[in-house]
Amino acid sequence: MTALNPAWRFGHHPRHIASLGLWPIDDWTVKVYTIAGVDGRVSPRLLDAAGDIVRNALPRPGVCAQRYGAAFVLVHEAQAFNTVAVDWWQNVNELNHRFFRAPAGSSAFIDITASGESACVWELRVQAFERDAWLTHVLTEGRADLEGYAQARLNEMC
């Protein structure tokens, strides 16, 4: 087994996960989440940049034979770097994912989807919640309750 880098600091530091509601973008309904440290706030500049990313990253049309117009975005302001993850449901039960990164304190994002990086532990919490909401409101017994899915929101410190 390879030794871990001694410069890495281990330990869990809780983050605020907050739902900011919905962004209607064309025929998409986008659930918006922020992930932030102690104060629980993400800068307005970062949110503006995330809005531009989402508008450009989502495929068009949002509602078609393969897609439901149901998406969520994670805007994570962290010490080392900022991330924006754009996820949307497609082909009944598949989650598609685009991932963007900017240096800390910056909103100059680049698409790092091809890097293979997917999510950090806090972002995975939101993805897990969204998976459960999709199962409950859309897939269970063929309910297809997209409105119920859009209203299911996560707000917690984890």
- Please check whether residue 57 lies inside any domain of the structure: yes
Dist CA 145 CA 44 (whole Å): 32
Is residue 40 in some structural domain? yes
Half-sphere exposure of 134 (CA within 13 A, CB side): 21
Query: Could you tell me if residue 117 is inside a domain?
Result: yes
Provide the terminal-to-terminal Cα distance of the chain, rounded to the nearest Å: 30
CA distance 61 to 44: 28
Give a yes or no: residue 2 inside a domain. Answer: no
Range of the domain at 106: 16-157
Q: CB neighbours (10 Å) of residue 102?
A: 18
Q: Which amino acid is at 17?
A: I
> Is 3 within a domain?
no
Tokens of 11: 């330990």
For residue 37, the model assigns a pLDDT of: 76
Count up the domains in the chain and report the number.
1
Please report whether residue 11 resides in a domain: no
In sequence order, the 6+-apart residues with CB closer than 8 A to the CB of 147 are none
Q: Chunked in runs of 10, what are the mean pLDDT values of the chain (158 residues)?
A: 60 88 98 88 94 98 97 93 97 97 93 93 96 96 90 95
Residue 116 lies in a domain: yes
pLDDT for res 158 = 86
10 part of a folded domain: no
Res 141: pLDDT? 80
Provide the whole-model pTM. Answer: 0.91
Distance CA 83, CA 106 (A): 10
